[in-house]
Amino acid sequence: MIDAIFWGLIQGLTEFLPISSSGHLVLIPALFGREGPDLATSALLHLGTLAAVVAYYRNDVARLIKFDRPARKVITLIIIGTIPAVILGLTFEDTLDRLTDMPDAVAVAMIVTGVILIATVLIRVGDKTMSDLSATDAGLIGLAQSLALIPGISRSGMTISAGLVRGQGRVEAARFGFLLGIPAIAGAGVFELIKLLDEPGGVTGATWVGVVVAGVTGYIAIAVLLRVLTRFGLAPFGIYCIAFGTLSLLVL
């Protein structure tokens, strides 16, 4: 139960803050010399963060469900943005799985995330809203999201950075990035849940506690991120990623 709460807390905080949940779920166990959550548990914890993003952006989700003309455009953009991650994930699945056993490589990836986040201070903040995005914008942001298949690369960090490059404001870039992440988060969580339900023992009560913790902390993390983005941008998170990645390289 304590492990489930701990991993749920880590997942919830790091999924939406641009500091890489996958990186933390690899490096923290390595630093403390203990076993991390298995891949199935990690995927199930995503169900909690899925609930968090749906709850936080419930008005946007409700508008998409209406499936009117503006909603269809945004849904089309989300589909376009999801394609790169699906293609790269299926193509390099085995290689990406092996990276979870290479803490040094994950630490380097986290440092790369930090450098990219800090570099966004050079980007002029635009005023494009989500409805202003083109198919090309969505594809490029989706390509950035696909990089987060590499443990240590932050999904939210990459999508927000790409949104800024394509002329969005910080909050709008985060908004589209989180909505874009819904299919990927849902797909991973539901797929693993179905597999576990077919196995003896299924999903334990402790795991569900972790899912709830991930959801609550994820919701809080979104609110914190948007406040920090408004005032300071992504640079503070970049400094953290470089510091944590460097510390991990020195210790491991």
pLDDT tens-digit series, residues 51-91:
999 999 999 999 999 999 999 999 999 999 999 999 998 89
Residue numbers of the domain that contains 138:
2-251
Q: How far apart are CA 71 and CA 65, in angstroms?
A: 8
Task: Look at the pTM and tell me if it is higher than 0.85.
Answer: yes
pLDDT the model gives residue 149: 92
Count of domains for the chain: 1
Q: Is 203 helix (H, G, I), strand (E, B) or coil?
A: coil
In the DSSP assignment, the letter for residue 202 is -
Alpha helices in the chain (DSSP H): 2-16, 21-32, 39-56, 58-66, 69-91, 93-99, 103-119, 135-146, 155-165, 170-197, 205-232, 235-251
Burial of 201 (0-12, 13-18, 19+ CB in 10 A): exposed
Q: State the amino acid at position 34 in one-letter form.
A: R
Higher pLDDT, 25 or 36: 25
- For the segment 7-29, the average pLDDT, to the nearest whole number, is 92
Q: Which residues lie closer than 8 Å to 25 by C-beta, 6 or more apart? A: 7, 10, 11, 14, 36, 37, 42, 151
pLDDT digits (tens, 9 = 90+) for 128-156: 999 999 999 999 999 999 999 999 999 99
Exposure string of 109-118, with b = 16+ CB inside 10 Å and e = fewer, is bbbbbbebbb
What interhelical angle do 155-165 and 170-197 show, nearest 10? 150
Q: How far apart are CA 15 and CA 157, in angstroms?
A: 10
Q: Is the pLDDT of residue 43 over 90?
A: no
pLDDT digits (tens, 9 = 90+) for 210-243: 889 999 999 999 999 999 999 999 999 999 999 9
- For the segment 166-170, the average pLDDT, to the nearest whole number, is 96
Rg (CA), the chain: 17
